[in-house]
Structure 1
Amino acid sequence: MDTTPKIKKTPQQQASMDQQSTQSGAVVGSNDTLLTDILLRLPVTSILRFKSVSKHWYSLLGQKHFTHRYDTHSKSPGVFARDKYIPFDAEDPNTPPVDTLSSYIDSFTSVRVLQSCNGLLLCCTDQWPKIRKSGHKYYVFNPTTKQLALIPSVLGGLKARKTIRFMGLAFHQTDCAHYKVVCIRNVLSYVESYQVQVYSSDTREWKISTESFSATKPVFFGQGVYWKGAVYWAPYYENSDHLYFKIDAEQAEQQLGTLPLPVGLTSSKIMTMYFGESRGHLHLILHMDRGDDSLLLNVYEMLSDHSGWFVKYQVQLGELLGAFPEMVSEDRYDFKVIDVVRGEEEGDSFVVLKTSKRIITYNVHDKSFKLVLSFAGHSYEGSLVFHRYTETLSLF
């Protein structure tokens, strides 16, 4: 029992302490620099709630300078499988409470995520027979702020909508603050001839960027990745073309280029296991039939001048077999790389893996791993495509 005598404050002392506390709060509240430094350390849910404190706080928290600084330190707390959100840490209360995208976009229609780009999601309706009649509807959605925008139909009417091969999002606080949507459609169905249209959230209009271009090989316009002013497509299967499209290039001959591969490799010898961007870094993981070495992954990073690749991480997944034996089946690897997530500190970087039974994260530095989800009883088991969620306060 605490027998220390309690010192009772006089009304004058209590009033003095209350006054000092009020004065300290006033000093912080009147100093935007100090207030900003404090608010930057709060979770995103608190930031959104504090916008309603006052008009001054609403203005301060909505400034591009603040959102840019906050997004610089933002984290990637989970992924979307189909339209459902899976947090990397189910016990973290700061992850966004987005159970399904359909509840925000169209509760009467199936919704599919096409791409994740620096906190924004490009989604489309995915339900027949509506698609056959009018084509997909496309939306840009910010899961952090719950802001939603319907993208107008591409130029060319229903005929053009039925020839769309790719729809991709371009967004970044520094080089593409007004998001853009890139559409690639077939011009002629019997040859590899395409047209490029670009939608800008600034003008709210579509514009034909490239009337037509031809590819020498088939192009897999699947998971396009935006990085430093361009959309990139990796070679996902043998003898495919691997292109990039510079969005703001003024001349047609400057818009399209070929993505280089790591030195010594050709697209006929590899398949892409993972291709994506994190914290300003473009990553590539390739799979080659190397027998016992199939559990050794080279995580390549693109050089800042776009000229080539270097090995950023070597990840030996054989160390996980004891805990996750399903990673190898019939003497072959049986897992997918869902994501490569760079942490704010280098030691916090990790890869996200999907086995036939589970989703796990694996730290590339200290080799620790964490179970994210067991598939038993969940509908995620058959999902082939996952999309990262990144917190962003940006409004559009």
Structure 2
Amino acid sequence: MFSTISKAITQQNQLSSAEKTANSDDILTEIFLCLPLKSLVTFRYVSKHWLSLISHPNFSLRLHLKPRPISGLILRSKSSPKNPKYDLINLNSDPFVAPFRSFSLPPSLVVLQSCNGLLLCGSPKWCNPTCNCYIINPITKKYTELPGAFRTARGSFRAILGINLAFDPSVSSYYKVICVTAVGDHCQIQIYSSKTGDWTPSSGKFWAKCGMTFKDGVFWNGGIHWISSERTSLYFNVNEEKLQEMPMPCIRDRSSERRFMYFGESRGHLHLIEIYSLRDVIFDVYEMERDYSGWVMKYHVDLREVAIAFPEMVRSYIGLGNYYEKYSILCVVREEKDEDSYMVIHVPKKAIRYNFKDRTFKKLHDFEPGFDDTIQHNCFSAFQYTESLAHV
């Protein structure tokens, strides 16, 4: 009898502890912070209580206090223009932890940019001010449509020179979209805030530098950065709404035209790769100082061994003895330990992972059958993806 009573008391205590845990927001939050984002997406549907905890802005901020590793690269597959499909090249060591394998967008939409887990999508003719843009979170499958086009005082549409996404989940749960428009022979920046849901013009107009392109801006250090072939480029501090100059690396050979192979951000570092000849397989990876004092050489890369292992990246001109390398750089990935940092190279039909420290490399991905021997992607069409539960 006493054993039965003791057993009942024990079960009641255990039930009481479980109920206390289930009803304690602090304990549940600590547990949720230790779980993969893929699990949190599912747990949102357990109850309204869990949904409110996981969806709370403070939870998102705590979840992203530490930079999250890149999950993969989003690339458009060889699909119909009427039914665009995107695949994820998984960069995790475990293939089973990929947040998704692929996703499709509504007809007439393509991915224009990615930033810390959110995607900026719009028409392939994104420079048309009458086309609408969307912010999409592919892991939560939520989206929002941005307000419409910009009109001048006379009622005509402004030309759009570039549109870029700025989102830092470790600072705020809100994002901004930076749009550069043409106003006569000047440029002006329009800013959309997810907090207000409106577009507002930044103060002042400016001249665009020669060779400046605003299409493929990179968000880093609180600003959108654009590069040009001149000695200086531009960046826009999003919070302060200030346009400032950014130095470019010195041109090594003034008789040659510089070619930008890569421009992107990883774990709070801004990287740039440029070459001066299509035959270059030896080059440097530059990193920008956080105070914008200049670019410093971070990694030295030698791809000659890669070219030997994957001879399809070496092509010959017909009838000529000269040759050139056929490859592009999809992304530079900084890991928590610098000796683990690497870059992803696209050669015909394959993606290769190249480690900076020991110069080892391996095949990472085979592109789907049907792709020819051309290079379909570069750093501006391979979108880095980091899992996020951010609201759109």
Question: What interval of TM-score do these two structures reach, taking the shorter chain for normalisation?
Answer: 0.7 to 0.9
The alpha-carbon deviation at position 79 of structure 1 amounts to 1.6
Measure, in 2, the Cα distance between the counterparts of 1:24 and 1:364. Answer: 50
Measure, in 2, the Cα distance between the counterparts of 1:84 and 1:196. Answer: 30
The alpha-carbon deviation at position 150 of structure 1 amounts to 0.5
Q: Which of 323, 333, 342 lines up with 1:350 in the alignment? A: 342
Alignment match, 1:81: 75
Alignment match, 1:6: none
Q: Which of 32, 54, 78 lines up with 1:61 in the alignment? A: 54
3-state SS of paired residue (2:227): coil
Q: Which of 357, 361, 365 lines up with 1:373 in the alignment? A: 365
Alignment match, 2:283: 297
Alignment match, 2:123: 125
Alignment match, 2:79: none
More deviation, 296-305/56-65? 56-65
Measure, in 2, the Cα distance between the counterparts of 1:265 and 1:370. Answer: 31
Measure, in 2, the Cα distance between the counterparts of 1:273 and 1:127. Answer: 24
**Alpha carbons 2:73, 2:91 under 8 Å: kept:** no
The letter of the residue matching 2:289 is L
- Are the structure 2 counterparts of residues 29 and 362 from structure 1 closer, same or farther at C-alpha, using a change threshold of 3 Å? farther
- Are the structure 2 counterparts of residues 296 and 15 from structure 1 closer, same or farther at C-alpha, using a change threshold of 3 Å? farther
Alignment match, 2:157: 160
Alignment match, 1:194: 187
Is 1:258 the equivalent of 2:251?
no
Measure, in 2, the Cα distance between the counterparts of 1:20 and 1:333. Answer: 70
Measure, in 2, the Cα distance between the counterparts of 1:36 and 1:295. Answer: 49
3-state SS of paired residue (1:178): coil
Measure, in 2, the Cα distance between the counterparts of 1:165 and 1:389. Answer: 25
Is 1:306 the equivalent of 2:292?
yes
3-state SS of paired residue (1:372): strand
3-state SS of paired residue (1:232): strand
3-state SS of paired residue (1:245): strand
Identity within the alignment, %: 35
Measure, in 1, the Cα distance between the counterparts of 2:189 and 2:365. Answer: 39
CA offsets 1:342-392 (integer angstroms, 9 cap, x no match): 224434422111112211222323444342332352559634421111111
Is 1:281 the equivalent of 2:269?
yes
**Alpha carbons 1:275, 1:285 under 8 Å: kept:** yes
Measure, in 1, the Cα distance between the counterparts of 2:285 and 2:253. Answer: 17
Measure, in 1, the Cα distance between the counterparts of 2:288 and 2:363. Answer: 29
**Alpha carbons 1:180, 1:199 under 8 Å: kept:** yes
The letter of the residue matching 1:159 is S
Measure, in 2, the Cα distance between the counterparts of 1:387 and 1:320. Answer: 24
TM-score where L is the length of structure 1: 0.80
The letter of the residue matching 1:144 is I
Measure, in 2, the Cα distance between the counterparts of 1:17 and 1:337. Answer: 61
Alignment match, 1:363: 355
Alignment match, 1:4: none
Measure, in 2, the Cα distance between the counterparts of 1:27 and 1:347. Answer: 45
CA offsets 1:123-145 (integer angstroms, 9 cap, x no match): 102379xx97x732211111121
CA offsets 1:263-314 (integer angstroms, 9 cap, x no match): 57599752211111112111111212396xx222322221121221222222
The alpha-carbon deviation at position 31 of structure 1 amounts to 5.9
Alignment match, 2:309: 323
Q: Which of 245, 267, 274 lines up with 2:236 in the alignment? A: 245
Alignment match, 2:332: 340
The letter of the residue matching 1:119 is G
Is 1:178 the equivalent of 2:174?
yes
**Alpha carbons 2:181, 2:189 under 8 Å: kept:** yes
CA offsets 1:69-112 (integer angstroms, 9 cap, x no match): 3333533222222351222259723323362331xxx2xx2322
- Are the structure 2 counterparts of residues 361 and 151 from structure 1 closer, same or farther at C-alpha, using a change threshold of 3 Å? same
Larger helix proportion, structure 1 or 2?
1
3-state SS of paired residue (2:148): coil
**Alpha carbons 1:169, 1:179 under 8 Å: kept:** yes
3-state SS of paired residue (1:159): coil
- Are the structure 2 counterparts of residues 204 and 259 from structure 1 closer, same or farther at C-alpha, using a change threshold of 3 Å? same
The letter of the residue matching 1:372 is L
Alignment match, 1:217: 210
Q: Which runs of 5+ in 2 are unaligned?
A: 77-84, 317-322
TM-score where L is the length of structure 2: 0.81
- Are the structure 2 counterparts of residues 344 and 26 from structure 1 closer, same or farther at C-alpha, using a change threshold of 3 Å? farther
Measure, in 2, the Cα distance between the counterparts of 1:75 and 1:241. Answer: 31
The number of residue pairs the alignment matches comes to 367
3-state SS of paired residue (2:161): strand
Q: Which runs of 5+ in 1 are unaligned?
A: 1-9
More deviation, 33-42/146-155? 33-42
- Are the structure 2 counterparts of residues 187 and 60 from structure 1 closer, same or farther at C-alpha, using a change threshold of 3 Å? same
- Are the structure 2 counterparts of residues 348 and 166 from structure 1 closer, same or farther at C-alpha, using a change threshold of 3 Å? same
Alignment match, 2:260: 272
**Alpha carbons 2:113, 2:164 under 8 Å: kept:** yes
